[in-house]
Structure 1
Amino acid sequence: MLTGGGSRILAGVGVVGAVGFLLAMDTGRPEVRLMTKAVPMLCLLLWQWPPRERYARWVFAGLGLSLLGDVLLDLGPEFFLPGLGAFLLAHVSYTAAYLTVTRGLQWVRALPFLLLAVSASVFLWPGLGDMALPVSVYVAVICTMTWRAAAMLGTPGLSRLEQRAAFAGALLFAVSDGLLAIRLFVQPVPGAGYAIMLLYWAAQLSIAVSARGPRAHPASAGHSLA
């Protein structure tokens, strides 16, 4: 993996790409939007390369699928469903990464995200139309991903910083997607696009940070049902 100067160069390129996309988001040419939108995720993928352990490989897959989703969603409304599918698979990949750390059910920690999934689906349902089923499935998957990030807190296998980074990334992703869903299916929110993208990039960076360190091999975390 890149360190030091290489990481700083990638960070600089990623920030330039992000700023370029934000400047072009509402009024820029479609090809400029597409290219600049891809830059931050490409930089994260390069920063993660090569992913040497199971956790890092699943996170890398999630980053790659997110990049695909970014591209598909910016190609036009007809690509919304494939883009949604790419992001759904990205959340499945992140969930698989978190399950390599612990498979403990942590039912108490699951409850808030179960309530979130149900309430979000009910809130969005009137405006979903033909998208009701795929969006509801997506909501369930992202809430599951966030639950599994919460389940890792306090377990062996990741450092405390990495656990917090993964959980923060999951929460930021949920907030970003929640704002996007409100904008698409409830009512337009002025300026929401900027908040959505900033939260999204912060989420992906946080999740990527959680995969940068060497993994321990917990002996019992996978068997706890606490």
Structure 2
Amino acid sequence: MREESTVKSRILAAVGATGVMAFLLIIERERYELRMGAKAVPLLCLLLWLWPPRGAYPRWIFAGLVLSLIGDLLLEIGPEQFLPGLFAFLLAHVAYAAAYLSVTRIPSVMRGLPFLLLAVGAGVFLWPGLGGLAWPVMAYIAVICTMTWRSWAMLGASGLGPRDQWAALAGALMFAASDLLLAIRLFVQPVPGSGYAVMLLYWTGQLCIALSARRPQYSSSPAPDMAV
């Protein structure tokens, strides 16, 4: 059974990596249907890798990946689908935050402070270029910063093992960095070649988040100073 699982993982990893390379090769092409097909492959492989999700934490992560896939496809259709795509990704972050809250609901206010400052700073920085998208983007920033905060709040909690906690935090941070870079490209100043960095950060972040839910290792005792 373990050998069969290993073979499945290797096949999915190879197919997913092929999808990543194919998308990066055609990222500048105007044929959106080609980009959609290649872009869907990595997340489809992650979904198959996690199937079937067992337990509250893996199910919320699985839901977040499904919503991210929907967002990916909507954004590739064209500018007219930007808001629906943004909403799909907002719901994906809600699902990830719910997963992290299923591990611990300790407020960890001090850990939330950097992300509050990040949300305010990003909002002020992006606001002049947002136009009619100002409030939807502000809502999205608030949700993704909340999701990232909750991933950090898990560290040291008893609901999930240290390896999986760190994987979730790394994934959340890379997802946030990808979105920030994308927002700069869309609303502030186009950066040559930034599309490659956006997608590599995004896919690596999703992989780390999926890793945290693949076979969660549950810890039995929280660190004593983690309830701040």
Distance 1:170 1:225 in 2: 20
Distance 1:130 1:214 in 2: 42
Give the fraction of aligned pairs with identical amino acids, expressed as a percent: 64
For normalisation by structure 1, the TM-score amounts to: 0.95
* Residue 3 of structure 1, CA deviation: 2.2
Question: Which consecutive unaligned segments of at least 5 residues does structure 2 have?
Answer: none
Question: Conserved in 1, the CA contact under 8 Å of 2:108 and 2:153?
Answer: yes
Query: Which one of 59, 82, 85 corresponds to residue 83 of structure 1?
Result: 85
* 1:154 aligned counterpart, secondary structure: coil
Q: Which moved more, 1:206-215 or 1:173-182?
A: 206-215
For normalisation by structure 2, the TM-score amounts to: 0.94
* Residue 47 of structure 1, CA deviation: 0.4
Distance 1:218 1:63 in 2: 28
Distance 1:47 1:28 in 2: 31
Distance 2:220 2:92 in 1: 25
| 1:54-69 paired onto structure 2 within 5 Å | 54-69=56-71
Is 2:169 the partner of 1:192? no
Question: Conserved in 2, the CA contact under 8 Å of 1:45 and 1:64?
Answer: yes
Q: Tell me which residue corresponds to 2:75.
A: 73
RMSD of Structure 2 on Structure 1 (CA): 1.8
Question: Conserved in 1, the CA contact under 8 Å of 2:118 and 2:145?
Answer: yes
| 1:92-111 paired onto structure 2 within 5 Å | 92-111=94-113
Is 2:145 the partner of 1:139? no
Query: Which one of 42, 45, 70 corresponds to residue 43 of structure 1?
Result: 45
Question: Which consecutive unaligned segments of at least 5 residues does structure 1 have?
Answer: none
Query: 1:172 and 1:220, CA in 2 relative to 1: closer, same or farther beyond 3 A?
Result: closer
Question: Conserved in 1, the CA contact under 8 Å of 2:157 and 2:221?
Answer: no
Distance 1:219 1:169 in 2: 24
Distance 1:220 1:149 in 2: 15
Question: Conserved in 2, the CA contact under 8 Å of 1:142 and 1:174?
Answer: yes
| 1:1-226 paired onto structure 2 within 5 Å | 3-27=5-29, 29-214=31-216, 216=218, 226=228
Q: Could you report, residue by residue, the CA deviation over 1:141-193 in whole angstroms, capped at 9, with x for unpaired residues?
A: 00000000000011112111100000000000110000000000001000000
Q: Could you report, residue by residue, the CA deviation over 1:12-62 in whole angstroms, capped at 9, with x for unpaired residues?
A: 000001100000110262211110000000000000000010000000000
* Aligned length, in residue pairs: 224
Distance 2:221 2:71 in 1: 36
Question: Conserved in 1, the CA contact under 8 Å of 2:96 and 2:147?
Answer: yes
Q: Which moved more, 1:20-29 or 1:194-203?
A: 20-29
Distance 1:128 1:61 in 2: 29
* Residue 217 of structure 1, CA deviation: 8.3
Matched residue type, 1:154 = G
Question: Conserved in 2, the CA contact under 8 Å of 1:65 and 1:89?
Answer: yes
* Residue 225 of structure 1, CA deviation: 5.4
* Residue 100 of structure 1, CA deviation: 0.5
Distance 1:40 1:214 in 2: 21
* 1:211 aligned counterpart, secondary structure: helix
Q: Could you report, residue by residue, the CA deviation over 1:43-102 in whole angstroms, capped at 9, with x for unpaired residues?
A: 000000000100000000000000000000000000000000000000000000000000
Distance 1:25 1:35 in 2: 12
Question: Conserved in 2, the CA contact under 8 Å of 1:113 and 1:143?
Answer: yes
